[in-house]
Structure 1
Amino acid sequence: MLWFTFEYLARFIATPIKCSFVKQPLNIIDLLTIIPFFVEECMPFFGFGVELRNLRGAMVVIRVMRLARVARIFKLARYSIGLRAFGETMRKSAAELSMLGMFLLTGIMLFSTAIYFFERDEPNSKFYSIPAACWWCIITMTTVGYGDLVPVTTGGKVVASMASVCGIIVLAFPISMIIDKFAESTGEWFGDEFVLKHQKAKDQGGRFKSMRKSRRGVI
C-alpha cells in the first residue's frame, strides 16, 4: 500500500494539470483504495475503536478494477506488426471462434451430464453435481487434465475417453482456418510495410536524381 501511495503522489506531483488528474476514473479508484487503509491505521491514535474492515472488504472490488490498467499494454500493438496481425486475425476469425465455443459448450454439457449419472452413486465421489462435472469436462476436453477429478466406474472411464478424443477433434477442427487467417493478416501487414518502404526508397531515389540533374544544369 505504501508503494501505491508513493506512485499516486509521484504521478500527482509530476502532472501539470492537477484537476484533470484527480478527475480521471482510474485515479479516483486509486484514491478510494488508498484512503481507507490510512484512515483505519490512524483512527486508534484519535481514540476511535471502530474498524473499517467491512469498508476495506468492499474496496476489494475497487482494487480489482485497478487491474484495468494492465489493458494499457495493448497500446504497444501499434508498434508491433505481429500484434496487429494477431488482432486482425481475431477479428476475421470471429465465426470460427464462435463455432469453436459452441462445439465446446455442447460437448461440455453432454459429457458432464453423462459422467455425473455414472459417478454420482460412488462413495466419496467428487462428481456430486453437474456443475462440478462441468469443471472436469472443461479441463479434459481442453487437454489440460489436472487430475483433481478422476472417474472410477467403467462407464465413467468410457465417457472420459470419448470426451478426450472429442476435445482434440473440436480444438483441431477450426485451428487450420484460424492459421490461414493469421497468415493472410501477416502477409497484409508485412506487405503494406514493404510497399511503404519501397515507395519511400523510390521517392528518395527520385529526389536524389533530380538534385544531381539540377547540379549538372548549374555547372
Structure 2
Amino acid sequence: MKKLKEKTYHLLSPPEQTGSASWWIDVFIISLIFLNVLGIVLRSVDYIYEWSPALFNGFEVFSIVIFSIEYLGRVWTGNMHPDYPNSAKGNLKFATSPMMVIDLLAILPFYLPFFGLDLRFFRIMRLFRIFAILRLVRFTDSLDFMYKVYKKRLSYLVIFSLFTFFFLVLSSILLYYAENSAQPEEFSDVPTTMYWLMGVISTVGFGEMAPATVLGRFIVSIVAFITIMLFGLSAAVIASGFSDIMADLKKA
C-alpha cells in the first residue's frame, strides 16, 4: 500500500521530464479541463445541446469520474507533500488548500442531487464547474508563478480590498445624502449610489448619472483620488511580490 501511495503521488505530481507518465497525465487532465469549459459554453446554445444531449451528459459523467479519482488520489497522497507532513492532519490541511478547494467545487455540484438537494439549487451550483479552468494554475509554470506571487502578498491585498470596500460604503452613504435631495430619482438609495460609484472607481463610468451638488462633486473627486492611490499601492505590493519570488528562484 505504501508503494502504491508513493507511485500515485509521483504520477499526480508536476512532471520532471517530457514524455513521462506524470507528463501524459497532466496533458490528459489539461485537455479534459479545456473540453469541460468548452462543453459549458456549447451547452448554453440550445440547438447544439439538443443535437445530442446524451453526448453532453455522457461526457459530463466521464469527466466527473476522472476528476473525482484525481481529487481522491491527491487527498490520499497529500501528506507526502513536503508542505503537508504528518498523516491525517497533513491530508486534511492539503484538502483545504486553495487549489484543492477549487478541485472540490468543480466536482461537487454533480453529487449534490444525490443528497436530496433542490435541483434548482443544483443548477446554480453547476456554475462552479467553471472553476475547473483555475486548476490550470497547477499545470502551468507561469500561472503557478503568479499564484505564488499573489499567495505571498495575499494578506496585504486582503487589507487593501477591505479598506477599499469600507471606503466605498462610507463614500456611497455620504454621496447619497449629498445628492438625494437634488436628484432623488438618480441617487434613490445607497445601493444605487454604490453601483454608480463603482463605475467611477473602475473608470468605466455611467453617463446617465452625475453629481449635481458641490458637496457631491467634492466627494466623488476625493473618492477618485484615493482609489487611484490604492490601485497604485496594490500594484506596488504585487510588483514587490514578483521581485521576492524571482529572488527566491535565483537562490534555489
User: How high is the TM-score relative to the length of structure 2?
Assistant: 0.53
Verify the 8 A CA contact 1:119 1:151 in the aligned structure 2. Answer: yes
Q: Is residue 154 of structure 1 aligned with residue 203 of structure 2? A: no
Aligned amino acid, residue 164 of structure 1: A
User: How high is the TM-score relative to the length of structure 1?
Assistant: 0.60
Q: Is residue 97 of structure 1 aligned with residue 157 of structure 2? A: yes
State which of 22, 42, 57 in structure 2 corresponds to 1:8: 57
Report the identity percentage.
19
Partner in structure 1 of residue 128 of structure 2: 68
Q: Is residue 126 of structure 1 aligned with residue 186 of structure 2? A: yes
Partner in structure 1 of residue 235 of structure 2: 175
Give the match's secondary structure for 1:173.
helix
TM-superposition CA deviations, 1:49-77 (whole Å, max 9, x none): xxxxxxxxx64432221122222222322
Q: Which structure has the larger Rg over C-alpha atoms?
A: 1
Verify the 8 A CA contact 1:143 1:167 in the aligned structure 2. Answer: no
Verify the 8 A CA contact 2:211 2:217 in the aligned structure 1. Answer: yes
RMSD: 3.3
Verify the 8 A CA contact 2:110 2:126 in the aligned structure 1. Answer: no
Which residues in structure 2 correspond to 1:18-97 (within 5 Å)?
Answer: 25-28=108-111, 59-97=119-157
Q: 1:5–1:147: structure 2 CA closer, same or farther, 3 Å change rule? A: farther
Partner in structure 2 of residue 107 of structure 1: 167
2:194, 2:184 → 1: CA distance? 18
TM-superposition CA deviations, 1:111-165 (whole Å, max 9, x none): 2122111111125532111222222222222333233432122221121111111
Verify the 8 A CA contact 2:178 2:215 in the aligned structure 1. Answer: yes
Question: Whose RCO is larger (CA < 8 A, sep 6+)?
Answer: 1
1:66, 1:4 → 2: CA distance? 16
Verify the 8 A CA contact 1:141 1:163 in the aligned structure 2. Answer: yes
Partner in structure 2 of residue 203 of structure 1: none
**Matched residues, number:** 162
